[in-house]
Structure 1
Amino acid sequence: MRSTFKGAAIAALSLTIASEAFATDWNVSLWGKRRAFTEHVEKLAELVSEKTNGEFTLSISYGGLSKNRENLDGISIEAFEMAQFCAGYHRDKNPSITVLELPFLGVTSLEQEIALSMAVYNHPATQADLARWNATLLMPSPLPQYNIAGAGDAPATLADFKGLTVRATGGIGQAMETIGAVPTSMSASEVRQAMDSGVVKAVSFAPHAHMSFGTIENATWWTTNLNPGTVNCPVVVNSDALANLSDEHRDALLGSVDEALAHYVDNYNNKTMVAWGPALDEKGIQQVTFSDDEIAAFRDAAAAPAAEAWIADNTARGLPAQELYDLVTGMIANGS
């Protein structure tokens, strides 16, 4: 009898060890709080767990693993297996994807932003660029065109931006400089304090971020049609961790990306944007719309010089910059 119980115990222990051996838990470094910007990661975690019967899980942390500007560094040393970051936070670390942050590209939808991002992410030069950090690009975090919320007197014309301190990163910051604004780069989680203290008078964000990070709590105006561009914020995975997944788990992860992005787009369009207008009205925020002529002049002053400078700088880095730029602008011209 004792031998029977001993055999059963060994069998149970063996099953437990086998189960643990097949279980995989990845740490995912995000920041802020759960919001429209992170819904695709949340959905991805849900899908992966479902497809693997809980054997592969994504443990999402909002700021507990790393600062957002250090997420790419954390990926490179496998401090965690997945992370989100924005290209404009450290342009020198990921120059290839900053082509997607050039001002006035003319992107009109989240779906188009996804298509452009994936085309750039799949380009061999981009993959080599991110491989320096042992990172594999998984999916974008598509965002609409940015606009600006500010405190104080609303600008009546674009000339009124002269001297105004604006939180604006990447190509948006470059564009704002052309109309005399003073762009300041800072992470999203630092913005509310900077605005409260007067370090910046205005903030360039997508609608979800204006709500999530509280800029509309003390804003008095918002631009409806400035639309200078957007930022590109990929989700990446550590390349070694991806390679070490079992085929089943890797298929579950990669095979869930499209559904996760579809969920993200649906949530952004049908929840975030539906809530945005009422939020502005509730706060009594003045909506500022500039004339077509002013916007055209702004675009003419900002777009071409920024593109030319980006191509020259990144060609000097050894990137096929003209090729990447032509890829993006060609897809936009073709309505892709």
Structure 2
Amino acid sequence: MRKLMSQTAVAALTLAFATEAMATEWSVSLWGKRRAFTEHVEKLAELVSEKTGGEFTLNISYGGLSKNKENLDGISIGAFEMAQFCAGYHRDKNPSITVLELPFLGVSSLEQEVELSMAVYQHPAVQKDLARWNATLLMPSPLPQYNLVGVGDAPSTLADFEGLSVRATGGIGKAMETVGAVPTSMSASEVRQAMDSGIVKAVAFAPHAHMSFGTIENGTWWTTNLNPGTVNCPVVVNTDALNDLSDEHRAALLESVDEALAYYVEFYNSKTMAAWGPALEERGIAQVTFSVGAVTAFKEAAAAPAAAAWIEENTKRGLPAQELYDLVTGMIAKGE
């Protein structure tokens, strides 16, 4: 009997150790606070936990693990297993995906933004580019076209942007330069203080970020239709950590991406955009709409030169820049 009890105890202990060994916890580095921009990561964590019976957990941190501009560095050294960042924060570290930040590409929906991003992420040259940081691209954070919230006198023509200090990253910043604005790159969490102190007079954001980071609290005007472009903010995972997952856990993660993205798009379209108009009206923010001719002139001044410069610069880096650009613009043209 004693021998049987001993065997039972050993078996129970072995099972306990095996169960503990199967459990996987990943740290996920985001920033700011939970908002539309992070809903796909939240949903992914929920789905992964459900599919693995709680054995695989994504522990999401909003700023507790790293600064947002250092998330890719953290991934590269394995400081955490998953992170979100924006390509425009460090263009030299991820030049291949900045093709998606070129101005006036003509992306018409979040669904199309997802399709374009995933196609670019799967390109071998892009995967090689991110592999330098031991990073595997998992999914995008699709955003609508950016527009400006500003303080002071509202612009009535493109000429009114001359000398205006604007928080605008990536291709949007390049576009604003063509109308005489002075773009400044800073992280989203720094924007409100920069507006309050007068460092910038306007901020280019998607609607959710204008609400989340407080630009509409002191903004006096909003451009409804400049639509110069958007930013690309992928979610990446540490490649070694991904490879170390069990087949079951890896499948649970990768097979949940499409559902998480679908949830994100629905959330953004139905909840965020529904709240945007009322938020502007409640605060008495003037809505500035430019003529079709003005927007067309803006596009003509910004789009082609930015694309040509991007292709030239990144071809010199050894990237198939023309091929990547043609991939994106070809898909957009096909979708029209």
* TM-score bin (small chain): over 0.9
Q: Alpha-carbon deviation of 1:16? A: 1.3
- What residue in structure 2 maps to residue 287 of structure 1? 287
Matching residue's letter, 2:106: G
- What residue in structure 1 maps to residue 149 of structure 2? 149
The answer to whether structure 1 residue 131 and structure 2 residue 131 are counterparts is yes
Q: Separation in 1 of the partners of 2:55 and 2:256? A: 15
- What residue in structure 2 maps to residue 36 of structure 1? 36
SS of residue matched to 1:143: coil
TM-score, normalised by the number of residues in structure 1: 0.98
SS of residue matched to 1:166: strand
Q: Separation in 2 of the partners of 1:180 and 1:83? A: 35
- What residue in structure 2 maps to residue 168 of structure 1? 168
Q: Alpha-carbon deviation of 1:9? A: 3.2
- What residue in structure 2 maps to residue 215 of structure 1? 215
Give me the identity figure in percent. Answer: 82
Q: Alpha-carbon deviation of 1:7? A: 3.8
* 1:3-48 C-alpha deviation (Å, 9 max, x unpaired): 5554443332222111011010000000000000000000000000
Q: Alpha-carbon deviation of 1:321? A: 0.2
SS of residue matched to 2:200: coil
- What residue in structure 2 maps to residue 15 of structure 1? 15
Q: Separation in 1 of the partners of 2:215 and 2:10? A: 59
Matching residue's letter, 1:270: S
SS of residue matched to 1:334: helix
SS of residue matched to 2:137: strand
Matching residue's letter, 1:132: R
* 1:122-152 C-alpha deviation (Å, 9 max, x unpaired): 0000000000001000000000000000011
SS of residue matched to 1:199: coil
The answer to whether structure 1 residue 48 and structure 2 residue 48 are counterparts is yes
TM-score, normalised by the number of residues in structure 2: 0.98
Q: Separation in 2 of the partners of 1:80 and 1:250? A: 17
- What residue in structure 2 maps to residue 252 of structure 1? 252
Q: Alpha-carbon deviation of 1:254? A: 0.3
Q: Separation in 1 of the partners of 2:284 and 2:8? A: 70
Matching residue's letter, 2:323: E
The answer to whether structure 1 residue 73 and structure 2 residue 69 are counterparts is no
- What residue in structure 1 maps to residue 301 of structure 2? 301
- What residue in structure 1 maps to residue 122 of structure 2? 122
Correspondence list, 1:191-210, <5 A: 191-210=191-210
- What residue in structure 2 maps to residue 333 of structure 1? 333
Q: Alpha-carbon deviation of 1:2? A: 5.2
SS of residue matched to 1:149: strand
The answer to whether structure 1 residue 108 and structure 2 residue 108 are counterparts is yes
Q: Separation in 1 of the partners of 2:66 and 2:146? A: 26
Matching residue's letter, 1:37: F
The answer to whether structure 1 residue 58 and structure 2 residue 54 are counterparts is no
Aligned Cα root-mean-square deviation (Å): 1.0
- What residue in structure 2 maps to residue 177 of structure 1? 177
Q: Separation in 2 of the partners of 1:8 and 1:63? A: 46
- What residue in structure 2 maps to residue 89 of structure 1? 89
Q: Separation in 1 of the partners of 2:37 and 2:117? A: 16
How many residue pairs are counted as aligned between the two chains? Answer: 336
SS of residue matched to 1:103: coil
SS of residue matched to 2:222: strand
Matching residue's letter, 1:201: K
SS of residue matched to 1:313: helix
Q: Separation in 2 of the partners of 1:60 and 1:189? A: 18
Q: Separation in 2 of the partners of 1:146 and 1:102? A: 12
Q: Separation in 2 of the partners of 1:157 and 1:16? A: 69
Matching residue's letter, 1:220: T
Q: Separation in 1 of the partners of 2:68 and 2:209? A: 15
